[in-house]
Structure 1
Amino acid sequence: MQASPIARTGRRTAGPGARRTRTALAAGLLTAVLALSGCGAASDSSDAASDERAAAPAGQKKADASAAGAEEGAAKPGAPAKRNPPAATHVIRTASLSVEVRSASKAAAAAREVAQNAGGLVADETTEQVDETHDSSHLVLRVPQDEYDDVLRKLSGAGKLLSRTSAAKDVTEQVVDIDSRIATQRASVARVRTLMDRADKLADVVSLEGELSSRQASLESLLAQQASLKDRTTLATITLDLTEPEAEPEKDEDPGFLDAVAGGWHAFLTMLRWLAMAVGATAPFLAVGAVLLVLWRLLRRRGGKAGPQEPPAGS
């Protein structure tokens, strides 16, 4: 039995579309199954990894975290590389200033105020009188490192700057070395104390006490060096010398008429003074001489009257 043309035409027309639809549905179902399988496997892997990380020791966890961070940083080419923070530097700063001022005492008071306002202190101060009219001051100031440049600028502008010297010494390696030696020495002292606690014999205890005293003394010496370095690197040292200017000599000018009159009058008065002094000096001698002269004349007159009279010529 043959189908009608209409039925054959409809089956030919609907056949290819139906096959494509079934193929698309089958592909979608296969994709969904594979996706669910992948999610399940990933979930199982994540759970297993979580269990393994939970069971791992703390040190291994930190190592894994560090490795993961390194891998993540390497996976991001645009991310900046992580750098360790720079080590702190330790510098000893010193400076010496010589300034000429009008008043050394007032300038010294101003320098003390500048140092104290900056959070520093006056380590030493000496003020002395050079002559009857001039003074000088010597100050040693300690100021914080952060305020060193500002204080130096203010002190330099206090008057006429005569000289200025500054120096900076990096002692970072020395500080690190002393810190390391202190840590080692403390561990050594702790070991000796532990041995002392375990010692049973008196000879061992005496020997360990001597060793402990020696190591304790070395530790205290290192601590003193550390404190000295900390003080010198925390506070800068400024030595300030303040001097007053010397009086300028008067300039000689050509004498004029009035100067000549004044000089002549001064010479005349000087001559009169000397004459008066001469008269005053010879007055006693003149007075005694006048008295002796008067007496001599009186005696002579009396002697002439009392002498023998000569007889007349005819007798």
Structure 2
Amino acid sequence: MLWVGVALLALVSAGCGSNSGKNMSGSAGMDNAAPQVAQQNAAPQEKQAQEPAAVQPVQQQERQLVRTATVDLRSDDVLKAIGSVKDRAQAVGGFAGQENSTKERGTVTVRVPSSELDRVVRDLASVGEVTRSEVRSEDVTDQLVDTEARIATQKASVERLRVLFERAGSTSEIAQIEGELTKRQSELESMQRRSESLKGKVALATLTVQVATVPIAPPEPEKAGFVGAFLGGWDAVVEFLRWITVAVGALLPFVLVLAVPAAVVIYVLRRRKRVTRTNEAA
């Protein structure tokens, strides 16, 4: 009985120890799993912290605009008003172009920086009474991009031809490559001039100011549709008939001057022919 009791006591002690070990290992597993879970939960937060708060939108390419404006002014002193327009253009870094003026009516065209066009147009209200103001913009971004791409391609082509020209051995090859090189160089210069012209139009806006002592009548709106086409055709017919009348009026004096001698010559020839027939009959 004593040995049986010792054996039972040993079994009970072993079971308690195994349960305690399981509890300790479970606790340790939980303790080890907790940091992993925390790391997994923290990983997305750290990733979000490392990444930008929001994806930056792709920056739009700056649009290249050719701006033009037309302003009609009424002023008692036309020459003074035109001088004031030129002064305002020069004050913002522009310059005056074509000018045609009298005491009663005048027109001046100035070039001003595109960024200053709106301000100059607003300032014209202090020069005279603004009866009409029109500002237009034309987007030439695609044209500039296309021209620049063509220029880059043409430059590469010219460089390749220059390399071939240096390596050419015979006279015929030199003449052929030189002719092609001259042609492509001319095309390249033409593209560069076009690009510079577009860039100049983008940088400087064109402002046309018409000044008169009386309000300038606004242009008539274009008539569309069947009525507009009919009226346009009728105007063309009237203009054609007017030109025919003018031509006839211009030719009539020559006809009158030449008709009298021609009639005399025809009369003399017919009389002579009649006399000849009479003599032959006799």
Asked if 1:123 corresponds to 2:97, the answer is: yes
Using the TM superposition, give the Cα deviation of residue 229 of structure 1 relative to its aligned residue in structure 2, in angstroms: 0.7
Asked if 1:108 corresponds to 2:107, the answer is: no
1:191 aligned partner: 160
- 1:66-104 Cα offsets, whole Å, 9 max, x none, are xxxxxx99xx9x975564322332222212222112323
Distance of 1:160 and 1:32 partners within structure 2:
86
1:19 aligned partner: 18
Distance of 1:173 and 1:141 partners within structure 2:
26
Match runs of 1:157-236 below 5 Å: 157-236=126-205
Match runs of 1:129-168 below 5 Å: 134=103, 136-168=105-137
Distance of 2:181 and 2:54 partners within structure 1:
51
Q: Which amino acid aligns with 2:2?
A: Q
Tell me the SS of whatever aligns to 2:135: strand
2:72 aligned partner: 98
Distance of 2:67 and 2:198 partners within structure 1:
12
Using the TM superposition, give the Cα deviation of residue 112 of structure 1 relative to its aligned residue in structure 2, in angstroms: 2.4
Using the TM superposition, give the Cα deviation of residue 156 of structure 1 relative to its aligned residue in structure 2, in angstroms: 4.0
- 1:245-289 Cα offsets, whole Å, 9 max, x none, are 59xxxxxxxxxxxxxxxxxxxxxxxxxxxxxxxxxxxxxxxxxxx
Distance of 1:2 and 1:120 partners within structure 2:
121
- 1:212-241 Cα offsets, whole Å, 9 max, x none, are 111101110111111111111221100112
Task: Provide structure 1 residue ranges, at least 5 long, that are not aligned to the other structure.
Answer: 39-71, 129-133, 247-315
Distance of 2:146 and 2:15 partners within structure 1:
88
- Whether the 8 Å CA contact 2:124–2:130 is kept in 1: the answer is no
Distance of 2:147 and 2:29 partners within structure 1:
72
Q: Which amino acid aligns with 2:19?
A: R
216-225 vs 150-159, which moves further: 150-159
**Whose RCO is larger (CA < 8 A, sep 6+)?**
2
- Whether the 8 Å CA contact 1:91–1:171 is kept in 2: the answer is yes
- Whether the 8 Å CA contact 2:75–2:211 is kept in 1: the answer is yes
- Whether the 8 Å CA contact 1:97–1:156 is kept in 2: the answer is no
- 1:27-79 Cα offsets, whole Å, 9 max, x none, are 67889999xxx9xxxxxxxxxxxxxxxxxxxxxxxxxxxxxxxxx99xx9x97
- What is the alpha-carbon root mean square deviation over aligned residues? 3.9
Identity of aligned residues (%): 28
- 1:184-239 Cα offsets, whole Å, 9 max, x none, are 21111011001012111122112211111111011101111111111112211001
Distance of 2:16 and 2:81 partners within structure 1:
107
Distance of 2:104 and 2:23 partners within structure 1:
109
17-26 vs 187-196, which moves further: 17-26
- Whether the 8 Å CA contact 1:100–1:243 is kept in 2: the answer is yes
Match runs of 1:51-90 below 5 Å: 83-90=57-64
186-195 vs 12-21, which moves further: 12-21
Distance of 2:32 and 2:207 partners within structure 1:
83
Distance of 1:86 and 1:205 partners within structure 2:
47
Distance of 1:158 and 1:184 partners within structure 2:
50
1:2 aligned partner: 2
2:232 aligned partner: none
- Whether the 8 Å CA contact 2:82–2:106 is kept in 1: the answer is yes
Using the TM superposition, give the Cα deviation of residue 122 of structure 1 relative to its aligned residue in structure 2, in angstroms: 1.8
Task: Provide structure 2 residue ranges, at least 5 long, that are not aligned to the other structure.
Answer: 37-46, 216-282
